[in-house]
Chains A and B, each alone.
Chain A
C-alpha cells in the first residue's frame, strides 16, 4: 500500500464524530481611510493621499528622489520587468510601484495578486515598494477582503507594511529581506 493510501486509511479509521462546518459571519467594522492609515502606520508603513489630478509620476519622484532604477507598469519605468526578467536585474531595482487591488482597514494590508507584480519576486526583492490603491477599495476586515478577492489565484499576497523582524532580542528592525519601506499611495 502506498503511503497515500495508508495515511488516508488511518485517517478514516480514526475519524472523529461529524462536526458541522460553521458559516463565517461578517462582523462588520469600519472600512475607512482613517483606520487603514492608522494601522499601516502602526506596522511601519506610510499612507500618502494623492491630491486630485496630481500625476503619480510626480508623487513617486518626490518620495524617492534618489531612486534610479524604478520598476512599474503605472508610471514610466527605468527598468522594464516582466516574468522573464533575470534575477540580477530584479535585484538592482530601487523602487517598485505597483497596483494594489484592495486595502484592509483593520490591519493595513493590501492585496497584490500576481497579475499586478510584473514578476513574482518584484514586491519583495525591490529595495522599496509603493502600492497605488483606490481609496474606494478599502474594506473593513479580512473576512470582507477574502469575500472580495474570491479566488486567491495562482499566486497572491496580502502585504502589510515593510519587511520586518524582531528576532534579535525582540527589537523591531524594518527591512529584513523584503522591501525596506512601504508606501501606499491612495487616490
Chain B
C-alpha cells in the first residue's frame, strides 16, 4: 500500500486529523519560540552542519579513535554490518549475561533493526521504558514519530490500553494518573536489573563516551540498575569532541520540543565497578548512503523530529502512513536507500514546500533530496505507469508550441462546454473531489495579447 492510500485513510477521520495537526503544530510553535530566543541559532545550525560534514569526511578515523578510547574505558565494542548481525550480537550478549529480560530506552536504531520481535522470538522479555514507546509496545504498534512515539493516540486510547494491560480503572484517561500507573509498572521492570539497552544520541570520538538524551530518566534508571548496558548506535552518531556537544545539546531539544535542553543529558564512558558496558556500532546501509553524494547529508540527522512537526503533510497523514521506522520528511529521504521499491511513494508525499529544510538543526537539504529521489525513482522505473506516460506526453506537447496551443485551447473549451458533472466526475478527476475546476474564460491570454497587437 502506498502513502496516498494510507494518508487518505488517516484524513478520512477529519476530527482526529485536526487534532493531530494542531497538536504537532503546537510543538512546532514551541520550537519557534525557543529558536527566536537564541540570537545565534542560525550560526549554531551552520556549526552543527559543518561539524557533521567534517566528521563524515573522516568517519573511518573517528570510528577507530572512538573504538580505541571506548576499549580503554573498559567498554566492549562490537560491529554489525546489518540489522541481522546487530540483533544476533545483542542476543548473544543477553544470553552470555544469563538474562531473560531487559529494559530498553528509546532507540530508533533497534526499531530499524526490528530487534524487539527478534528477541521475543528468542524467549527474551523486552520492555520499552519510554512512556510513549511502552504505550505503542503494549498495543503492538510501531512508533509514529521519532520523539513522540504515541502522538497518533488520544488519551482515551491510552486509557483503554492501560486498562487492559496495567489494570487501571476502566475509563481512566487523565494523563497524570496514567503516567503514574506506568511509573509504578515500569519501576518493577527497572528493579529486575539484568540488561539495559539504550540508543545513542552522540558518540564522542575523543573520549569514547556515548551521550543519551531523555526527559523521563528511563535510560539512566535502566542502565544504572542493570548488570549489563548495551548501547546500540548507527555509525553516523560520531562527533569529534566533547566541545561539540555544546552545539548539539543547544539545538536538539529546542528543535524537538522547544525545551531549552532535555531533562537528562547523560554521558556514559565506563561501566560501574563489577558491571559491563557494550557498544554495538551498526552500518545497515549507512556506508551506502555515505557513497551517494546527493544523499549523504541525510546522515547528519540527529533525530529531533522537527521536520515532522513542521511538515504539513505529516501532520495530516500521521506517522504510520509512511510505513517506515523513521516517518516524515527525513524518513522519506532515508527509506529509498533501504528499499526503493517498497518506499517509492514516500519522496512524493511532499509538496516540496521546504519547511523541513528550514527547521532542520543540522541543515539537511531535505526537500532538495526529496526532489532528487524522485528523479532516481523515475529513472529506475518505479513510477506508476500512468504517471510516467503522462509526463512523456506532456513533455512532447510542451516542447512544441503549436501542439501546446491547440491542447490548451481544447482543455479550456472542454471546460467551458462540457457538463459540470462530467468535468467534475470524481472517479475520473481526483481534483474535483474537494475542489472546483477553474471557470474557463472565453479567451486565453495569448488571444488577448494578439488582439492588443492588432489594435496598436
Contacts and interface: CB of A to CB of B under 8 A. Distances in A.
* Direct A–B contact in the complex, CB atoms closer than 8 angstroms: yes
Interface of A: 2-4, 6-8, 10-22, 24-25, 27, 39, 42-43, 83, 87-88, 91, 104, 106-109, 119-121, 123-125, 141-147, 149-171, 173, 175-179
A21 B192 CA distance: 44
B53 interface: yes
B85 A176 contact: no
Interface in B152-171: 153-155, 158
12 contacts: A3-B79, A15-B58, A15-B59, A24-B243, A104-B261, A124-B220, A145-B246, A154-B270, A158-B261, A160-B265, A161-B263, A178-B216
A175 B293 CA distance: 45
Nearest to B191: A87
Contact of B131 (A120, A146, A162, A176): A176
5 nearest interchain CB pairs?
A: A178-B217, A14-B291, A107-B260, A167-B132, A176-B216
Contacts of B283: 3, 7, 10
Contact of A173 (B56, B149, B179): B179
Nearest to A107: B260
Interface in B261-279: 261-270, 272-273
A157 B51 CA distance: 23
Contact of B217 (A16, A119, A176): A176
A29 B104 CA distance: 37
B40 A157 contact: no
A167 B221 contact: no
Contact of A166 (B39, B54, B204, B257): B257
B246 A168 contact: no
Nearest to B283: A7
A8 B290 CA distance: 12
A82 to B, nearest CB: 11
Contacts of A91: 187, 191
B190 interface: yes
B413 interface: no
B56 A21 contact: no
Contacts of B27: 170
Contact of A177 (B50, B129, B288): B129
A24 B270 CA distance: 26
A165 to B, nearest CB: 5
Given A152-B269, A178-B220, A7 B263 contact: no
Nearest to A120: B224
Nearest to B272: A120
Interface string B134-164: 0100000000000011110111001000000
A39 B53 CA distance: 32
Contacts of B220: 120-121, 123-124, 157, 178
Contacts of A171: 155, 175-176
B368 interface: no
B200 to A, nearest CB: 14
B244 interface: yes
Contacts of A10: 283, 287-288, 290-291
B77 to A, nearest CB: 8
Interface in B206-244: 207, 209, 215-218, 220-221, 223-225, 235, 240, 242-244
B218 A155 contact: no
A96 to B, nearest CB: 13
Contacts of B296: 14, 16
A177 B155 contact: no
Which interface residue of A43, A83, A120, A179 has the most chain B CB atoms within 10 A? A120
Contact of B221 (A22, A39, A121, A164): A121
Contact of A39 (B50, B153, B260): B260
A150 B242 contact: yes
A94 to B, nearest CB: 15
Contacts of B291: 10, 13-14
A25 B244 CA distance: 10
A121 B58 CA distance: 36
Contacts of B150: 167-168
A150 B204 CA distance: 13
B218 A177 contact: yes
A170 B23 contact: yes
A81 B150 CA distance: 37
A177 B264 CA distance: 12
B264 A158 contact: yes
B423 interface: no
A170 B151 contact: yes
A179 B240 CA distance: 32
Nearest to B268: A155
Nearest to B213: A158
Nearest to A10: B287
Given A21-B51, A91-B191, A125-B225, A175 B261 contact: no
A93 to B, nearest CB: 13
Given A157-B220, A160-B260, 9 more contacts: A7-B281, A19-B57, A156-B267, A157-B266, A165-B131, A165-B132, A173-B176, A176-B217, A178-B216
Contacts of A124: 217, 220-221, 224, 264
